[in-house]
């Protein structure tokens, strides 16, 4: 019986699992949202939320603990910890917990593994997404005009003369 054994194994050794979860957490910090399997998303959620709790404290000790949890002293990790402490931590100061959201996507086409997005709950909307929706709404509001730009181009015979 597996009583009091809550670690999700993910079919990996402990070292491989810890490296995987650290990389997933680093990618979540960098990109704000990642697409992964549902089991991995559920496994990375506690690690990501502990990282935000450390970022809310914003001390040298908590910064070093965050670097240790991400297990790597690469420039990518240092950049991710910097973003965690400068953007994500201050943004989550008033929230007491529940910093991440898991959205189920359905099965993957190749092997039918259940897929999910894991993202920050209070992530700001991307400026490109809002401009794209504004462009679509402005196109829908304005009446469609005939294709005048193509008719304004000179014919090929005129160019040769």
HEC profile for the chain?
CCCCCCCCCCCCCHHHHHHHHHHHHHHHHHHCEEEEEHHHHHHHHHHHHHHHHHHHHCCHHHHHHHHHHCCCCCHHHHHHHHHHHHHHHHHCCCCCCCCEEEEEEEECCCCCCEEEEEEECCCCCCHHHHHHHHHHHHHHHCCCCCCHHHHHCCCHHHHHC
- With 0.85 as the threshold, say if the pTM is over it: no
Domain limits, the chain: 14-134
**pLDDT above 70 for 145:** no
> According to CATH, what is the number of the domain 14-134?
3.90.1030.10
Q: Which stretch of 6-10, 11-15, 39-43, 152-156 has the lowest confidence by average pLDDT?
A: 152-156
């Amino acid at each position: 019986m597996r009583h009091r054994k809550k670690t999700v194994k993910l079919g990996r050794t402990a070292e491989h699992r810890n490296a995987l979860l650290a990389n997933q957490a680093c990618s979540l910090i960098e990109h704000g949202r990642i697409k992964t399997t549902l089991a991995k998303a559920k496994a990375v959620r506690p690690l990501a939320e502990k990282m935000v709790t450390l970022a809310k404290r914003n001390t040298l000790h908590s910064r070093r603990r965050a670097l240790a949890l991400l297990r790597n002293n690469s420039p990518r990790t240092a950049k991710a910890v910097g973003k965690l402490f400068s953007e994500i931590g201050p943004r989550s100061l008033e929230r007491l917990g529940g910093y991440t959201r898991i959205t189920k996507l359905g099965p993957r086409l190749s092997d039918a593994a259940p897929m999910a997005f894991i993202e920050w709950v209070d992530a700001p909307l991307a400026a490109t997404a809002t401009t794209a929706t504004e462009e679509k709404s402005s196109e829908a509001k304005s009446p469609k005009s005939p294709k005048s730009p193509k008719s304004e181009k000179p014919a090929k015979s005129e160019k040769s003369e």
